[in-house]
Amino acid sequence: MASYPELQGRVALITGGASGLGLAAARSLAGQGMRVAVADLDAGAAERAAMALGPSGGHLAFSGDVASQGDVHGWVAALLARHGRIDVLINSAGIPDSFLPTVEQDVADFRRLVDVHLTGTYLVTQAVAPTMLQQGRGSVINLSSVAGVLGLARRNAYSAAKAGIGMMTRTMGCEWAARGVRVNAIAPGYMLTPFAQRLIDEGKLDAARLRRRTPAGRLGTAQHVAEAMTFLASDAAAFITGVTLPVDGGYMAWGAASDAYEGPLD
């Protein structure tokens, strides 16, 4: 992994940081010497994740719901009381979609998913932004998806939420660019996370078919996403804002009516 010495001692808040892509990002930033606050709905998992980041004493754990303004404001107040600054925000909290036909989808489930992914991203960013703007420096990194760009049937709520995150990334990135606060997003392809593995095991995703559709011929890992997030958090990305960066092995770039990868599937 690349080294970014300027991140040493800076402070990050990561929602959904106790598992999957959020946890990978937390490990990556902590490895750069950052002090990381892990926020997650699962209090025990957040505590374990923060403790596993290292003995620096600067890592924190918060529990609560990103869709609750009270919970979010509590995290930000506690983090500022401890460290006095917030340099990086990673919005990675999320819940799975139903994978049901549109006419069978439950409206309450639709609303909850949009509330967590889209409204949650908005609430946490809105709560952190005043501190970053006052500092004159900050990097917000949102988690979008190929589902926010491509049409994926049976995934209305998830796709709509991720598309919304992509546009919110652009609007906030433009709003705050002149004041030193950057807002970008990562759009992962099909990554071999524990969640994706569960979908494969349940027959909801076909791993071989996905690999054929991906020019790189393989599924990505959480580490691929974490490294992209670490780059966007660093000063090396100082002139990048309002961008949704695909980390997908070429999945979104492929447009031909044929397999993108014709090699062996080991």
Active site members: 158
Contact 79, 37 (CB under 8 A): yes
Integer Cα distance of 60 and 35 in angstroms: 8
Integer Cα distance of 86 and 217 in angstroms: 38
Q: Dihedrals φ, ψ of 45, to 5°?
A: -65, -40
Distant-in-sequence, close-in-space partners of 248: CB < 8 Å, separation ≥ 6: 146, 187, 188, 189, 190, 214, 220
Burial 86-124 (b: 16+ CB within 10 A, else e): bbbbbbbbbbebbeeeeeebeeeebeebbbbbbbbbbbb
Distant-in-sequence, close-in-space partners of 140: CB < 8 Å, separation ≥ 6: 88, 89, 91, 125, 128, 129, 132, 172, 181, 182, 183, 184
Shortest CA distance to 98 belongs to which of 207, 211, 229, 202? 202
Integer Cα distance of 146 and 12 in angstroms: 25
Contact 118, 147 (CB under 8 A): no
Q: Where are any strands of DSSP class E within the chain?
A: 11-15, 35-40, 60-63, 88-91, 138-143, 181-188, 244-247
